Structure formats: C-alpha cells, structure tokens
Structure 1
C-alpha cells in the first residue's frame, strides 16, 4: 500500500538508511512494475511531453507501493514516537525571517480537520489512525461508521478524537459530509476555519429541510457543553477512490469537479499550503487502479501525488501503519509551518502609529490642495472685482 512519499523520507538519516537497506524479502520485484505509457488518464494531454510526464508520474506512483514493505519495525516505531512527542516546537518550526519558536502562537493541542464527501471514509480513517497508535488492529471503533450511506446522513456533529487516546497534543476532527451544494460547503468550511471547531457541535446546513433540522436537534438533546473550541491547524481532505474512478470511467465529471472546487476553496489552504489528500476504499481496487487514481488526482488538484496524496486502504496492517504515520507527519509538519504569530503589543503599536502617520500625511496633502484651491479662488474673485471696477 502506498503511503504517499517514500516511507523513510521523514526519518532521521540513520533510520532512513536502515529502512532503505532492509534485507526483508520483497513480494514484488522491480519487474512487477513495467514502464507504462499511460494515456487514458482524463483529458488527452496537449502534447507528447505532457503524455511522457504523465506516464512517468504513474510509473513512479506504482513503484512507490513497494517501499513501505522495506521499512523495519524499529524505524516505524521511531516515526510514531516523533509524532506522539511533537511537543518540542523547535524540532518542527523553521526559524526564518529572523523569527524564533517563541514568536509563534503554539496551540496546546494540534488540530487536524477531516473534510470529505459523503461516504468518503472519514470515520473509518479515524478508526484506522486509532488502531495504529494503540498498536492493536482489533481495537473497537471509536468513530461511528455508516454502513449504508444511501439511507443515512452520516455524521451530523463535530467529533473530536485525541491521537493517541490518552494524549493532549494531537486531535483529529470528524465532520459532516460535504453537500452537493457548494454554497453549503463553503459557508460551513469558512466558519470552521475562521472561528474554530467544538466537540459535539451540531452541523446544520442551509439546505436542510425542516425534518432533517429537527432530527439533528432532537439527537443533540442538549446545548453546548464545556468543550473547548479549537482553531484548525491543518486540513485532511478525504476522498473515495471508487467514486473517483467511476467518475473518470463514466465521463460524468460532477463528483471530481466537486472535489476540485472544494479542495481549492481558499479557506482550506494556509497560504500556499493546500490540504493533504487521503484516498480510501482501495481494498476494493487493484494496485494499478489505485495508482491511476492518485495520478489523476495529482493533475486534477494540482498537487504532487507522491508526496501529498496518501493511499490508505487498510488491506495490510504494516502498509496501513506506514501510510497513516507518513500522512500525519506531513500534516503536523505543515501545520507548524503555518502557525500564527503571537500578538506583540509593541509591534502592533508601531503599526498603528505608522498607519496614523500615513493618514495624517495624506490629510496634510489634502489640506494643501484645499488651500491652493482657495488661493486660486480668491485671486479669481479679486480679478473679477478689478474688471468690474474698470
């Protein structure tokens, strides 16, 4: 199972070497992945160079599925420990532009928001992440999974899950599925990204009918509790691989167009950093179809499929573990890169004084123009008076 980038990229050098030089037997040799001329991926490429680039990307994605099998248990344990102990900000924050780690507003709990269409597998992803960090593949589900999405609305409340369960450093938020109405999605996403998220918060869309709205309120049975509101630090965009493939094969682009429109919604990005993408339900697809989907999504969303799109189908315990760890490392790393600065009252005062001076300067220029106009007006009146007397 491919975990996005190579499984050893985020490890310390000695562990990366250990992972890459593992002598564990590979069930797949390099001959298993032939060089493929991949031309049936979405719209026809504009030229031969685009086709070659697409074929190369597909081949690299296909070969990346072998790499996690080479990671030794010790390297994986260290990678999980790095995620669990990310309480050392200096190890994650890049001190650039003269800034220090102390200049950033570091949250007590790093918050990752799960976003995705109906049936994309957000709740299932929560359960898989939990099992990885509990080291128990048979651990009971924490998040309620919808068995038949055609007869249920899925999650109607925001749900917070600490990772690991007894930690206070990292949490993921399960959310209500994206709507078929873009306006509904954008309003909710903007509210979550700008004002934060709260455990057990009801999620009611503008397009919900009276029956649906009342049903959600009845399920709540109570108002807001003492739960803390958390600001979102990064977004995990979850998509159903089967739906993506069906949209490609049927030429009905509505599902994939909705993915692209929502993914590129400005409020989901942190400056130039777009969300990480997780592809689910790969256990029902072949390896070649999964590589197909990641390559296609890379082109559709404008992100590198090897480093920002993670395939977590849950078909193999070790592969799932590697993919989950790599995806969370990517998310936390980019969350730290985009932390807001602390409120520095001295700097704020300087900015206010500068703005005030600029306004006074512009006001002074306006006064000068008015004075010049008045002088010309008086001279004109005096001239007219002289002409009258003459």
Structure 2
C-alpha cells in the first residue's frame, strides 16, 4: 500500500505512523465508539467519563503537531500580565500583578515533580542558549530534596514566570504536610529555602550547619500564584487495587485543601508515570483519581509522561505529551492572571484610613459608655 502512494502522501503516511505509537489510548476498548463521534458534536453531558477522556486525548493529538510551536512561543515570550483580560474596564496597568508569576509544584515523594521540571526545560527551554538542565535531585548530595528550587524553565532573564520544585510530602503525615503547605502559600517561597521536618532529627550538627549556610534569605521571596498538584498515577492506582486507600485519600486531602483553593479556585492535577500501566489501567486510574479529588477528568487533569527522565527530548519523541505540558503551564498562567487585585490608589487608601479611624472612635466611645454606665450603677448603689 505504501508503495502506491505519492511522495506527498507517503510523507503524510510516515508522519501519521510515527505519531501513532504515542497515541496509547487508541488501544482502549471504547476507542471505536469514540471514533464514531469524532466528526459529530454530540451533547457532551451525555458522554461517559471514559469517552470524555478518549475525546480529550484525541483533541490533544489533533492539535499537538501544529499547535505546539505556537503555544511554546507564547510561553517563551510571556511577560507578567500578558494574559490579563480587561474585565470591567480595568486595564493591566491598574492591576497588582507581580513581575514574575510563581507556579509551585506540590505532591508526595516520588510523584515526579523533578522529572516534570526537567521535561519543562526540554519542551519550553530556548535551545542553543543553555544545555539541558537537570534538577539538583540528580546530584550526589543527600539533602538536596530539603530545599525549594526556583527554575526559570524558559531560560530567559526576561521570563515572566518561574516554577518551584518542592520537597515531597509523606502519605502518613498529612497534618505536618498541610502545615508546611500553609507556610508556603501564606509567607511565600524563595530559592534554597530549607524544608526541615520532624523526621530529620537524625542529622548531625555539621549537616545542620551546612544546610543552614545553603538556605539563605538573600534570594527573592515570591508569592505563590498557582499550584500544580503532581501525582504518581501508577503508585496510587496499584495501591487502590491492593485495597490501600491511603494514597487516594491523601491526594484528595491535598488537592481539596482550602490553602490551594484560596490561591486558585481550580487547581491543576498533573498525573505522571502513566506509562507503567496498561491502557485500560491508565484510564481507570485517571478516572478514579479524578472522581476522588472531585476534578474534571478532561479540563482539570493532565496525563504527562516525563520522558526526559530517560534523556529523551519530549518535543522530538512525544508531541502529545509536550503539548499537554505546554497547555498545563499555559492554563496555570491564565488562572494566575485572574487571581490578582487592582492596585490601591489615593482614594482607596483614604477610605481605608477613614474606616480605621471610624472603628477607633467607635471603640473609644463604646469604652467611655461602658465606664460611665458602671460609674452610674455604682453611684446608685451608694445612694441606696
């Protein structure tokens, strides 16, 4: 058949054949039913969750070849505030938008946060400027995971966003996990920020001094604008099949935490290590996790295989994964842009000061009224 095609058709055939091997979902049992709906526009609400996932993966595969370069260019050229929509007539200049948008990766130990950062370098980095960068987790140091790491994945000093790789949480220490997350979301984060926990008491005095010297407050402290929850879909699904619901409950508690909801109403869920499961298990795992954490199986979760963990460049080996990652970062920036408030002008400060003065006078006169009331009651008792 291939020999009967023209040169143009043969090139197209080769391109489709090369990309087909990365479309793992096409071996799913329900895929034939999804193909029948490919050129139709049925009522999406009537589709089953499995068909929604298959249609979403087909959408990514359809857009990836042409849309990856365009979306990657937008992210490389991104400046803080570029995605702001002037809602209500408020312009970008009137908004309190920081010069650098901060995306924080949170998740449990082994979820793939560092591999995701490496994949971002591969997909979004400007080729030819800086060689491929690995996170410090690949170094020989034993304690690098105890530090927050700031990454400029666009490899540009003018980049409008950065990504923070954090220390992984433990499934059986959710109270301590949420307390540490609260400090990150409230107080902000900075590069080389030390993340010590109760289980680190075994460190020697020399180790503690080395860690303290490396963790420096001289780095810029950044407010977290958006958080991505990274989950190991293979670990969670295999534990679920074995009857262990602790990973599922832990990821739900983390994802549904008010701390993350306060930062952005719709946190993003990144599922990694899906290549360790079969097609049906991968879809079942995604649906089960989305059901437990109460997130849309198509618009809130991204299934991303971090191929750069093995040294492959994602944009050359798997365009679908590369586009899914770029879209996830793009959506995180869109969410961040909506979370800012207008700058306070002179009138706003005047109203704020006036309100504080009114509260002060109200409290002062309430105190005087209380004192006078008690004095009057005391005088009445003395007359009696």
TM over 0.5: yes
Which string of whole-angstrom CA distances, capped at 9 and with x for unpartnered residues, describes residues 334-365 of structure 1?
01110244343531331231243245346556
Tell me if 1:134 matches 2:135: no
Q: Larger C-alpha radius of gyration, 1 or 2?
A: 1
Tell me if 1:96 matches 2:87: yes
- Distance in 2, matches of 1:135 and 1:235, equals 24
- 1:123 maps to 114
Tell me if 1:158 matches 2:139: no
Which string of whole-angstrom CA distances, capped at 9 and with x for unpartnered residues, describes residues 291-314 of structure 1?
222212222112212111111014
Please tell me whether the aligned partners of residues 80 and 99 of structure 2 are also in contact (alpha carbons under 8 angstroms): no
Q: CA deviation at 1:94?
A: 3.2
Q: CA deviation at 1:256?
A: 1.5
- 2:324 maps to 323
- Distance in 2, matches of 1:132 and 1:172, equals 14
- Distance in 1, matches of 2:362 and 2:193, equals 49
Please tell me whether the aligned partners of residues 269 and 300 of structure 2 are also in contact (alpha carbons under 8 angstroms): yes
- Distance in 2, matches of 1:377 and 1:159, equals 66
Q: CA deviation at 1:204?
A: 0.9
Tell me if 1:332 matches 2:328: no
The number of residue pairs the alignment matches comes to 339
Give the match's secondary structure for 2:145. coil
Tell me if 1:170 matches 2:170: no
Please tell me whether the aligned partners of residues 67 and 323 of structure 2 are also in contact (alpha carbons under 8 angstroms): no
Q: CA deviation at 1:317?
A: 1.6
- Distance in 1, matches of 2:77 and 2:278, equals 36
Aligned counterparts, 1:228-267, within 5 A:
228-267=220-259
- State the superposition RMSD in angstroms: 3.5
- Distance in 1, matches of 2:138 and 2:46, equals 36
- Distance in 1, matches of 2:111 and 2:74, equals 28
Q: CA deviation at 1:169?
A: 1.7
Any unmatched runs of 5+ in structure 2? Answer: 1-14, 21-25, 35-44, 308-316
Q: CA deviation at 1:370?
A: 6.9
Q: Do the aligned partners of residues 220 and 75 (structure 1) sit closer, same or farther apart at CA in structure 2, a change above 3 Å counting?
A: same
Which string of whole-angstrom CA distances, capped at 9 and with x for unpartnered residues, describes residues 312-332 of structure 1?
014652111111111001100
Q: TM-score, normalised by structure 1?
A: 0.74
Tell me if 1:109 matches 2:100: yes
Q: Do the aligned partners of residues 135 and 294 (structure 1) sit closer, same or farther apart at CA in structure 2, a change above 3 Å counting?
A: farther
Tell me if 1:269 matches 2:267: no
Please tell me whether the aligned partners of residues 196 and 230 of structure 1 are also in contact (alpha carbons under 8 angstroms): yes
Q: Do the aligned partners of residues 153 and 32 (structure 1) sit closer, same or farther apart at CA in structure 2, a change above 3 Å counting?
A: farther
* From 53, 68, 75, the counterpart of 1:76: 68
Any unmatched runs of 5+ in structure 1? Answer: 1-22, 37-52, 385-390
